[in-house]
Amino acid sequence: MQNIGKKIWAIAEGYIPADDASKARQFVSHETACILNAGAEDAHVEITVYFHDRDPAGPYRVTVGAQRTHHLRFNDLKDPEKIPADTDFSSVFISDQPIVVQHTRLDSRRSDIALLSTMAYPIS
């Protein structure tokens, strides 16, 4: 099969709503990057996070196995540092294999949930 995706992706939107972490995990507000690696080799992905008024954080490193998907919650990133809640950010993904990246947020600060999603922007 031909290559599915690109190696560099950007998400201009990023925001982790501050929420009650004692909720069930699927209802805690979260910001997610869904990464599909449909290829035959594991993909090693480096993520850099950009802020409004400080230098970028990262790189964060994740591996997405061959023919696997990884729905990465920015809330879970800890190394080299946690991403603060209630703070605007953007992110850039650089992979050694073609991947497809989609951005999704679930916001459940209020009684109901709100969702957004958009394909990330493919650079090359």
CA dist., res. 56 & res. 116, Å (int)? 24
Q: How far is Cα 94 from Cα 9, in angstroms, rounded to an integer?
A: 7
Q: Identify whether the C-beta of residue 101 lies closer than 8 Å to the C-beta of residue 93.
A: yes
Residue 35: exposure state from Cβ atoms within 10 A (0-12, 13-18, ≥19): buried
* φ, ψ dihedrals at 120, nearest 5°: -65, 170
| Residue span 28-67 as binding mask against a copy of itself, x where in contact by CB under 8 A, dash where not | ----x-xxx-x---------x-xxxx-xx----------x
Residue 79 vs 112, nearer CB to a copy of itself: 112
In the complex with a copy of itself, the residue whose CB is nearer, 38 or 77, is 38
Q: Which CB sits closer to a copy of itself, 28 or 48?
A: 48
Residues that bind a copy of itself (CB under 8 A): 2-5, 8, 10-15, 17, 26, 32, 34-36, 38, 48, 50-53, 55-56, 67-71, 86, 88-90, 92, 100-107, 109-124
